[in-house]
Amino acid sequence: MQGIVPLEMTQTEVFQAIQDNGLLASSLWINIALAGLSILLFVYMGRNIEDPRAQLIFVATLMVPLVSISSYTGLVSGLTVSFLEMPAGHALAGQEVLTPWGRYLTWALSTPMILIALGLLAGTNMTKLFTAVTADIGMCVTGLAAALTTSSYMLRWVWYVISCAFFVVVLYILLAEWAQDAEIAGTAEIFNTLKILTVVLWLGYPIFWALGAEGIAVLDVAITSWAYSGMDIIAKYLFAFLLLRWVADNESVVSGMASGLGSASGGA
């Protein structure tokens, strides 16, 4: 029986299959631990921030480990993992492949937070922020569709290409639009560091998707999971730490910066 419902497996069995694969399970548990520590550290780092725009950057950034701890709890419990039968044409055709689809779903919540924080730091206007966030959500949801499509191998890659098209929009805004805005806002130095970190790491996700079990399957499920977990550690926790440390030390720059969104306090 083919489909996205793992008919033969209960959630307990999926949970057991994950725990039995030590390499896979450790890639998930380590992120739960790091997300928990990051939440505590970030709350501490942001405790004295008073400027509304700096607070908004702080809240968006804090959401990243909060979504992450929820995401990894869903994965480790087996709730958001299914064994899906791959279609003809796939390297593992006919086999039930462990698919951690919860990752792609929760990226639709975590990655917009990263972009909101970066956009605010760059002094974005509403149009660019809206475009970046909606394209990013489009990228994650169509990536989810690629992973869940079991009817046709070709259509998995069609979804993949659509997702990449959304990704190009996000990259354009990061590299061209916001890089320029950050110059005007006076935040170019920190923005450029975070931009490079983001662009380089985010490019890794579609590469590992394509190489992993969802794509051409040259990498095993546990290795792919570690690749994502490793990239997550840098793209989320290190990213958030660098951003929050800068915001906490430069609150006056943030409150006085030129921004296309106007004042965050609602006044003139």
Verify binding: residue 101, ligand RET, rule CB under 6 A: no
**What one-letter code names the amino acid at 247?**
V
Distance CA 47, CA 49 (A): 6
Please select the residue that binds ligand RET; options are 72, 209, 226, 246, rule is CB under 6 A. 209
Nearer to ligand RET, 106 or 124 (CB): 106
**Number of helical (H) and strand (E) elements in the chain, helices listed first:** 11, 2
User: Which of 83-91, 104-112, 117-125, 249-257 is the region at the interface with ligand RET (rule: CB under 6 A)?
Assistant: 104-112
Beta carbon of residue 50, minimum distance to ligand RET (angstroms, whole number) = 28
Beta carbon of residue 28, minimum distance to ligand RET (angstroms, whole number) = 14
Distance CA 136, CA 130 (A): 10
Distance CA 214, CA 147 (A): 6
Please select the residue that binds ligand RET; options are 235, 240, 244, 247, rule is CB under 6 A. 235
Nearer to ligand RET, 160 or 191 (CB): 160
CB contact at 8 A, 168 and 131: no
Please select the residue that binds ligand RET; options are 42, 58, 104, 178, rule is CB under 6 A. 104
Q: Which of 28, 60, 62, 29 is nearest to 45 (CA)?
A: 62
Verify binding: residue 191, ligand RET, rule CB under 6 A: no
Distance CA 222, CA 211 (A): 12
List contacts with ligand RET (CB under 6 A). 104, 107, 110-111, 139, 143, 146, 160, 163-164, 167, 202, 205-206, 209, 232, 235-236
